[in-house]
Amino acid sequence: MPHRTNHPLFSPAAFELKVIRRILSSRVVFDMIKGQGKLPAMDLILEKKSVIQILEEIAVLLDLAGENPFKSRAYSNAARVLETTGESLEELIRSGQLGETKGIGKALEEKILTLAVTGTLEYYEKLRGQFPPTLFDLLKIPNLGPKKVKTLYSTLGIQSLDELEKACQARIIRALSGFGEKTEQRILEGIERVRTYAARVLLPAAESAAQPLFESVSSHPATLRASLCGSLRRRRETIKDIDLLASSREPGELIEAFTGLPQVKTITGQGSTKASVVLENGIASDLRVVADDEFPFALNYFTGSKEHNTLMRSRARTFGYRLNEYALTRENGEILSCQNEEAIYWALELDYIPPELREGLHEIGWAMNRAVPSLIEYGDLKGTLHCHTRASDGEASLEEMAAAAGALGYQYLGIGDHSKAAFYANGLDEKRLAQQWEEIDRYNRQGGPVKILKGSEVDILRDGELDFAEEILLECDFAVGSVHSQFALSEAEMTQRLICAIESPGITFLGHMTGRLLLQREPYPVDVAKVIDATARNGKWIEINSNPWRLDLDWRACLEARDKGVLFCINPDAHNTAGLADNRYGIDVARKAGLGREAIANTRELNDFCQLLKKTRPG
């Protein structure tokens, strides 16, 4: 166990009695402390991410063990709640909020606490001992759930994909009760799929694959209405499959046409109301078909999320109703007719909830209290910052970028090329930056479609110092501080590094605050809540980086930052003219975070925007 005698959280002086009692209530920690006879120096051994992972793992292990599914759900739910909480685990524990959090009761509070402080949990270790970790790979195979995996393991000792594949080929799976010849075949196909294709794709990739499918379905003569649903309609950052809904008088005909589309490689399921396929590009797609008067209910169901649906259906129950994808029904069988989705929410005494907010987080509470935020819309942006040109690693000239921004209807465009430390990106030194300013001055004097604002994406060095002197940054209209190297710091170091940067007078906001690359690279360890607090204290902004690989700051964290009075700025981080259009994904993020026009700085007209920029500077 690492020793850190002067850690602020665990130095005895800083300990509130309440906190000590909370920690002592944990059995393992209690024994440990008793054994030492005094309060030991402690640090949180597990970071939040690891605790979340373990909770999710416990949920799966409980399923495998055949435990009460609601218990498993409680663990999944707790993991989800922790994940969407912006506050650090340390702060949750210190403030005593952990046990107060909805979905975390006495038992889970104690388990989380024990995990965080000791790095281990007997309950977890015992469960884990029952099943080899490779069983988790088997669960990724379509149509293989906990029951079947457990059977395979306990009767045949099958632990891995390879072993399962061999067993299928040897035709010994079919001997098990509940398994047969077709199951063997399906498993083999499933293994192939898991090995070949990614489980999720980025939003834009799903969007472009969805477009032609949607066209085909909606233009089919048997189709009355059609919509994209699921995570695509909710504008999630990554997508598992393309969910399509249609209404029709001839569902069979439409489903047949869908499965026969040229993009379809394999049909993984087909019935009288829906079909599932895998496309040539490896992306899966589900089509659901209902009668036209059922369309609003089906749209609501198929848009989800699952968690939102569960909450909606529970709420319907409290009115004595039953809600499914076909109708809203009273106990006596009477049907409450709804012409559109809005009417469903109203029937449940809720305000309408836009799809982006339907994640089963706070939205039902907001809708009950008439407090659903009004969201920023596509077209609300009046300009944008943080764009690159050929001067560093961009592909377009200043003029080309400006023309493209003008074509989007923008009034201003902020150039933030890399600084000299980013040598791999041809970062600008002081001299080249000055040359770029001259070029910008010339452009602005001549007058183009947009006003170009002078900026820099200045590297944040290891210690939080910046790659340009403060005077230079203050001469810019804005400055983005970004981490592009030295990712492998501790959470405390990285947090301090970012706070140091955001406290610099010249910095406007941090670029892509957590450094994640979706489906590719985890964020570097950083206490986002602390950085956001520092951002608020210093009157700075938060960047919503619209690059689809980044979408950073994440919408969940933006949602948490909503009440802290911080302004956001949606920027494309564009490296070519086409990249400017990525701001639409940044707007998706803002909408998912419940942000309105007023919270986004670059919804302001040029003059107001420049005034706001000045306010991020001292004096």
Ligand X SMILES: Nc1nc2c(ncn2[C@H]2C[C@H](O)[C@@H](COP(=O)(O)OP(=O)(O)OP(=O)(O)O)O2)c(=O)[nH]1
Partner DNA sequence: GCCGTTTTCGGCCCGACTGTTTTCAGTCG
Shortest Cβ distance from residue 269 to Mg ion (Å)?
11
* Residues from 226 through 265 that contact ligand X (CB under 6 A): 230-231, 236, 239-241, 243
Contact between 557 and 86 (Cβ < 8 Å): yes
- The DSSP annotation for 512-548 comes to STT--BTTTBPPPS--HHHHHHHHHHTT-EEEEE--T
Determine contact, residues 600/590, Cβ cutoff 8 Å.
yes
Among 303, 309, 392, 571, binds DNA (CB under 7 A): 309
Subset of 266-305 contacting Mg ion (CB under 5 A): 286
Site for Mg ion in 235-254 (CB under 5 A): 241, 243
CB 477 within 8 A of CB 610: yes
Tokens representing residue 162 in the block: 């390879």
For residue 291, the minimal CB distance to DNA (Å) is 11
Give the shortest CB-317-to-ligand X separation in angstroms: 13
Cα(298)–Cα(304) distance, integer angstroms:
10
Exposed (0-12), middle (13-18) or buried (19+): which is 286, by Cβ within 10 Å? buried
CB of 339 to DNA, least distance (A): 21
CB nearer Zn ion, residue 75 or residue 509: 509
| Of the residues 40, 119, 132, 142, which one makes contact with DNA according to CB under 7 A | 142
Q: Please say which residue, 247 or 577, places its beta carbon nearer to Zn ion.
A: 577
Residues 6+ apart with CB under 8 A from 460: 466, 467, 481, 482, 483, 497, 498, 501, 510
Min CB(239)–ligand X separation in Å: 5
Among 243, 439, 477, 491, binds DNA (CB under 7 A): 243
Q: Which stretch binds DNA (CB under 7 A): 95-103, 208-216, 411-419, 529-537?
A: 95-103
Instruction: Determine which residue in the list 42, 89, 228, 323 makes contact with DNA, applying CB under 7 A.
Output: 323
DSSP string for residues in 385-397: EEE--TTTT-SS-
Rounded CA gap, 389 and 393, in Å?
Answer: 7
Site for Mg ion in 571-590 (CB under 5 A): none
* Binding map of DNA across residues 186-225, x = CB under 7 A, - = no contact: x---------------------------------------
482 sits near ligand X (criterion: CB under 6 A): no
* Amino acid in position 503: E
Phi, psi of 54 (to 5 degrees): -65, -40
Mapped to the 3 state alphabet, what secondary structure does 318-332 carry? HCCCEECCCCEECCC
Binding partner selected for residue 304 from Mg ion, ligand X, Zn ion, none, CB under the kind-specific 5 to 8 Å limit:
ligand X
Under rule CB under 7 A, residue 235 binds DNA: no
Q: How far is the CB of 101 from DNA (least distance, A)?
A: 7
Q: Shortest gap between Cβ of 589 and Zn ion (angstroms)?
A: 17
CA-closest candidate to residue 498, choices 456, 478, 527: 527
Task: Give the pairing type, strands 274-279 and 322-323.
Answer: unpaired
The encoded tokens of residue 577 equal 């003219």
For residue 412, which phi and psi values (nearest 5 degrees)? -145, 155
Question: Is 467 in a helix, a strand, or coil?
Answer: coil
**Cβ(540)–Cβ(573) below 8 Å:** no
Interaction of residue 75 with DNA, rule CB under 7 A: yes
Question: Is 302 an interacting residue with respect to ligand X (CB under 6 A)?
Answer: yes
Instruction: Tell me the closest approach of the beta carbon of residue 144 to DNA, in angstroms.
Output: 6
Q: What is the CA radius of gyration of the chain?
A: 27
Q: How far is the CB of 313 from DNA (least distance, A)?
A: 3
Q: Which does 482 bind (CB under 5 to 8 A by kind): DNA, Mg ion, Zn ion, none?
A: Zn ion
Smallest distance, Å, CB 67 to Zn ion? 46
Segment contacting Zn ion (CB under 5 A): 52-60, 439-447, 476-484, 547-555?
A: 476-484
Q: Residue with the closest Cβ to Mg ion? A: 230
Q: For residues 231 and 419, which CB has a smaller minimum distance to Zn ion in the complex?
A: 419
Choose the one of ligand X, Zn ion, Mg ion, none that binds residue 553, judging by a C-beta under 5 to 8 angstroms depending on kind. none
B/e letters for 306-335, b = 16+ CB within 10 Å, e = fewer, are: ebbbebbbebbeeeebebebebbbeeeeee
- Take residue 52 and report the two structure tokens written for it: 């979340």
Q: Is the dihedral of CA 260, 263, 267, 271 positive or negative?
A: negative
Is residue 508 near Zn ion by the rule CB under 5 A?
Answer: no
Return the range that interacts with DNA (CB under 7 A); candidates 74-82, 200-208, 497-505, 512-520: 74-82
Check residue 482 for interaction with Zn ion (CB under 5 A).
Answer: yes
In the region spanning residues 170 to 189, those forming contacts with DNA, defined by CB under 7 A, are: 174, 177-184, 186
> Is 241 or 459 the residue whose CB approaches DNA more closely?
241
Question: In this complex, which beta carbon is closest to DNA, that of residue 274 or of residue 388?
Answer: 274
Candidates 23, 74, 89, 453; binder of DNA (CB under 7 A) is 74
Q: What CA–CA distance (Å, rounded) separates 117 from 292?
A: 55
**Long-range CB contacts (< 8 A, 24+ apart) of 93-99?**
93/19, 93/22, 93/23, 93/44, 94/9, 94/19, 96/18, 96/19, 96/22, 99/22
Residue 511 or 586: which CB sits closer to Zn ion? 511
Q: Please name the helix (run of DSSP H) or strand (run of DSSP E) that holds residue 279, with its range, or none.
A: strand 274-279
What's the CA gap between 39 and 11, in Å, rounded? 9
Any contact of residue 359 with DNA (CB under 7 A)? no
Binding stretches for Mg ion (CB under 5 A) = 230-231, 241, 243, 286
Binding residues for ligand X, rule: CB under 6 A, are 230-231, 236, 239-241, 243, 301-306, 309
Residue ranges in contact with DNA by CB under 7 A:
68, 70-71, 73-75, 78, 101-109, 123, 141-149, 174, 177-184, 186, 230, 241, 243, 269-274, 276, 284, 286, 306, 309-310, 313-314, 316-318, 322-326
